């Protein structure tokens, strides 16, 4: 059969096939072009620029030159490691708190809310209708020294415990680590609830019935069926909370004090106040690297490929 | 392939689709996409990082900051100022003094309140100024140290005294000779700022707080004291309290002052370092006492009689917010006309009566008394001799000093 196919036929057919094939092959790339350009201009180029800045030395007056001064990284880490530790600690705590607070709520909305479901979802998103800054400033009123929250916690002797743990100072909440963590938790809670909800909502209710038929207690059902199936939501929720929270500086600035400053505050201060652009750029890259490593390890561990 | 509705597609289309999705080099697999974008990114990244040759010196040599002045042809002016820093009518729709200026000169003023913070504003205008481009602003209002930096970098245009007769004649002696702009060649103050101590008598239990020593050492104020995140205010007031002159201090003095504040942080006497947001905390009583800007104090007092202020016996820091014409601005003459206009006594009085900051205009007292006698006798707006004698300005810093001091101060405030 192949022998009967003449050489003439082959050469006649091939060019046409090749051009259409090439065109077809390029189509997906053409479709990707806008996105790729966007990434290049607004992500890749700034990254390269910052990477270059981080190995420069100089001053505003004399200008900055690339001198491959890698020790900036080491110096930045040596000077500001407490702020790094603090950022990860606060962001981690806030993420765990978000999960604890958000999971039951997402579960309720997904399975028990009935006709209230849409209303509850709108309420979850409602805080986004005001600005991040206003929401954080509201917490200054909520946690004010003479306010009801401080009064109640003080009467219940909770503040004595938290002060002993170093989370608060004396009989106040504002300008303490606890206030910053509260602010972070509040501000990022919707980012936890929404992916959790999408994961939970997808679970087929018949699976719960099946578990019940097989004599699983509600706790076992949750442990063996619901929770594993909601893992994509848990993973993406924790990532969406932890990553921005670790770089946040607004909460630490407004609700915190000198000893609650996070690495975002240091970067801001180095960029704008001290005008030490290399250190600021190096700090940004160190933070990025730390978060990237932690997230990679976490995703490997959690083993969830299909993130929502 | 059911989801592609095979009936509506031709056989050739289906085949093409299947081919592009599944086999051959044309298949867009995740691997090939990652490889392609990875190689692309590496090439671009490598080239760019090789060619990235740093940030050029900020100071522009060779060409001056002056630019072609289009004032005569374009009756416009773009004025950037701080929020709530100009008089507005009761219905908040008009800016009386500004509208009167337009009426008189025919110059349309685009007034933008886009300055909230000196360092942020510098970050915003720096790229254009460093590149020798027009910022789109003809007049900006920045605090002393930033004005000093902008002038030092050659980013401010020299003002023409011929267009500034009132300003030249009426500028208060106190503001005439800053060491960073001798003879006011590039700048004129919009307002003067006094840094004083403010306290909430409700929170202090009726006690008076009138020295930095008391702020730092009084155990009754523990955890309810704030200093300002502006280095020159906090360190300057501490220097004065230590008997040093903020106009002539040395590195050792600076370190000693920072050390004193550091002790206050370590003992948790100092609650935090604040920007403008101290006003809310002081009003609520979360702060018992703090460093404060006098204009804010007058405005707070209007609503809350518990707010009091004190001028420390050791002296207080004065500074000013200054009008500058940035390099390459298109309407310099129009800007100069506006500066001069605000140095006319009736206009200056109206502005001072509204914003309550120190009025840098000499001889405004009578005009101010006509608006409100109480304001004319308020020493926070028109300092008397005794008060003026206690005022000190923070000396201007060289670029190296500025970086070193800001770094130390940044460590002090935690970031």
For residue B54, the chain A residues in CB contact (below 8 A) are: 52, 56, 58, 63-66
Supply the pLDDT for residue B15. 65
Q: Do B28 and A28 touch (CB under 8 A)?
A: yes
Of the candidates A32, A66, A175, which has its C-beta nearest B271's C-beta?
A175
Tell me the pLDDT tens digit for each residue of B222-264. 999 999 999 999 999 999 999 999 999 999 999 999 999 999 9
Give chain B positions within 8 Å (CB) of A21: 19, 24, 26
Confidence of residue B39 (pLDDT cuts 50, 70, 90): low
The CA distances from residue B207 to A171, B249, B251, B292, in Å, are: 21, 32, 35, 17
Pairing state of beta strands B187-200 and B307-310?
antiparallel
Q: Does residue B37 surpass a pLDDT of 90?
A: no
Which one has a higher pLDDT value, B108 or B22?
Answer: B108
Average pLDDT of the residues in B52-78: 76
- Beta bridge pairs of residue B140: B80, B324
Verify whether the Cβ–Cβ distance A254 to B277 is below 8 Å: yes
Here the contacts of A225-230 (C-beta below 8 Å, separation 24 or greater) are A226/A107, A226/A200, A229/A199, A229/A202, A229/A203, A230/A196, A230/A199, A230/A200, A230/A203
What is the C-alpha to C-alpha distance for residues A186 and A139, in angstroms, rounded to an integer? 9
| CA–CA distance, B258 with B216 (Å, rounded to integer) | 12
pLDDT at A61: 83
Burial of A39 (0-12, 13-18, 19+ CB in 10 A): middle
- Mean pLDDT over all residues of chain A? 90
Instruction: State the count of interchain CB pairs (< 8 A) between A and B.
Output: 137
Which of A47, A273, A277, A287 to substitute to test the interface with B, most B CBs within 10 Å?
A: A273
Range from A14-18, B62-66, B158-162, B300-304 carrying the lowest mean pLDDT: A14-18
Highest-confidence segment of A167-171, B48-52, B58-62, B316-320 = B316-320
pLDDT digits (tens, 9 = 90+) for B325-381: 999 999 999 999 999 999 999 999 999 999 999 999 999 999 999 999 988 998 889
- Is B53–A140 a contact, with Cβ atoms under 8 angstroms apart? no
Task: Give B125-138 pLDDT, tens digit per residue.
Answer: 999 999 889 999 99
Q: Which residues of B touch A258 (CB under 8 A)?
A: 265, 270, 272-273, 412-414
3-state SS assignment for residue A4: coil
Q: What is the pLDDT of residue A251?
A: 96
Q: Is A275 on the interface with B (CB under 8 A)?
A: yes
Quick check: B53 contacting A, CB < 8 Å? yes
On whether any CB of chain B is under 8 Å from the CB of A270, the answer is yes
Residues of A in contact with B19 (CB under 8 A): 21, 24
pTM: 0.84
- Long-range contacts (CB closer than 8 Å, 24 or more residues apart) made by A293-297: A294/A88, A295/A239, A295/A242, A295/A243
- Neighbouring C-alpha atoms within 13 Å toward the C-beta of B134: 14
Distance CA B407, CA B119 (A): 14
Rg of chain A over all Cα atoms, to the nearest angstrom: 27
Contact A187, A135 (CB under 8 A): yes
Per-residue model confidence (pLDDT) at position A307: 53
Residue listed under structure tokens 């042809």: B73
- pLDDT in the model for residue A153: 92
Q: Are B156 and B185 spatial neighbours (Cβ–Cβ below 8 Å)?
A: no
Which CATH number is correct for A82-302, 3.40.50.2300, 1.10.3720.10, 3.40.50.1220, 3.40.50.10140?
1.10.3720.10
How confident is the prediction for chain B on average, in pLDDT?
Answer: 88
* Nearest C-alpha in A relative to B202: A146
Interface check B270 vs A, CB under 8 A: yes
Domain range list for chain A: 2-45, 82-302
């Amino acid at each position: 059969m192949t022998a009967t196919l003449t050489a003439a036929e082959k050469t006649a057919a091939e060019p046409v096939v090749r051009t259409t094939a090439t065109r077809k092959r390029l189509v997906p790339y053409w479709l990707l072009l806008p996105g790729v350009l966007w990434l290049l201009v607004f992500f890749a180029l700034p990254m390269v620029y910052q990477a270059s800045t981080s190995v420069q030395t100089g001053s505003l007056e004399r200008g900055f030159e690339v001198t491959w001064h890698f020790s900036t990284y080491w110096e930045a880490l040596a000077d500001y490691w407490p702020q790094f530790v603090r950022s990860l600690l606060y962001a981690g705590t806030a993420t765990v708190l978000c999960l604890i607070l958000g999971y039951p709520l997402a579960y309720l909305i997904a399975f028990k809310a009935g006709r209230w479901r849409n209303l509850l979802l709108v309420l979850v998103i409602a805080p986004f209708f005001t600005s991040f800054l206003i929401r954080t400033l509201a917490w200054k009123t909520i946690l004010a020294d003479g306010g009801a929250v401080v009064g109640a916690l003080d009467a219940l002797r909770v503040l004595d415990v938290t002060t002993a743990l170093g989370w608060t100072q004396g009989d106040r909440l504002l300008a303490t680590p606890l206030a910053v963590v509260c602010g972070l938790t509040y501000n990022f809670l919707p980012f936890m609830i929404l992916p959790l909800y999408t994961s939970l909502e997808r679970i087929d209710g018949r699976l719960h019935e099946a578990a019940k038929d097989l004599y699983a207690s509600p706790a076992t059902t949750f442990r063996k069926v619901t929770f594993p199936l909601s893992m994509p939501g848990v993973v993406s929720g924790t990532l969406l909370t932890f990553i921005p929270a670790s770089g946040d500086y607004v909460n630490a600035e407004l609700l915190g004090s000198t000893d609650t400053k996070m690495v975002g505050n240091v970067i801001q201060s180095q960029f704008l106040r001290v005008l030490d652009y290399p250190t600021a750029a190096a700090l940004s890259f160190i933070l990025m690297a730390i978060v990237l490593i932690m997230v990679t390890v976490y995703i490997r561990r959690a083993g969830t490929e299909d993130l929502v | 392939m059911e989801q592609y509705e095979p009936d509506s597609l031709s056989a050739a289309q289906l085949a093409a689709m299947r081919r592009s999705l599944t086999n051959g080099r044309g298949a867009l697999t995740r691997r090939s996409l990652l490889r392609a974008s990875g190689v692309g990114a590496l090439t671009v990244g490598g080239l760019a990082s090789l060619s990235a040759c740093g940030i050029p010196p900020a100071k522009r040599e060779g060409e001056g900051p002056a630019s072609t002045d289009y004032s005569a042809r374009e009756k416009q002016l773009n004025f950037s100022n701080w929020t709530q820093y100009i008089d507005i009518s009761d219905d908040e729709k008009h800016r009386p003094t500004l509208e009167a200026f337009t009426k008189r000169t025919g110059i349309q003023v685009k007034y933008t309140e886009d300055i909230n913070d000196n360092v942020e504003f510098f970050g915003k205008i720096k790229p254009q100024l460093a590149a020798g481009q027009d910022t789109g602003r003809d007049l900006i209002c920045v605090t002393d140290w930033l004005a000093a930096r902008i002038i030092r970098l050659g980013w401010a245009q020299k003002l023409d005294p011929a267009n500034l007769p009132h300003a030249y004649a009426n500028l208060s002696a106190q503001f005439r000779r800053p060491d960073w702009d001798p003879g006011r060649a590039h700048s004129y103050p919009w307002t003067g700022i006094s840094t004083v101590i403010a306290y909430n008598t409700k929170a202090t239990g009726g006690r008076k707080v009138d020295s930095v020593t008391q702020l730092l050492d009084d155990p009754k104020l523990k955890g309810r004291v704030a200093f300002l995140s502006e280095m020159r205010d906090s360190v300057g007031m501490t220097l004065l309290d230590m008997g040093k002159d903020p106009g002539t201090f040395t590195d050792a003095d600076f370190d000693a002052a920072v050390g004193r504040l550091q002790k206050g942080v370590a003992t948790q006497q100092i609650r935090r370092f604040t920007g403008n947001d101290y006003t809310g905390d002081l009003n609520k009583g979360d702060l018992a006492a703090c460093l404060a800007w006098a204009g804010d104090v007058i405005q707070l007092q209007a609503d809350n009689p518990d707010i009091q202020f004190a001028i420390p016996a050791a002296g207080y820091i004065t500074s000013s917010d200054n009008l500058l014409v940035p390099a390459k601005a298109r309407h310099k003459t129009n800007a100069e006309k506006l500066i001069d206009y605000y140095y006319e006594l009736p206009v200056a009085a109206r502005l001072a009566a509204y914003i309550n900051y120190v009025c840098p205009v000499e001889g405004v007292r009578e005009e101010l008394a006509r608006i409100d006698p109480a304001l004319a006798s308020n020493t926070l707006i028109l300092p008397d001799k005794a008060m003026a004698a206690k005022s000190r300005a923070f000396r201007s810093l060289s670029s190296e000093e500025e970086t070193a001091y800001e770094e130390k101060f940044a460590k002090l405030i935690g970031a």
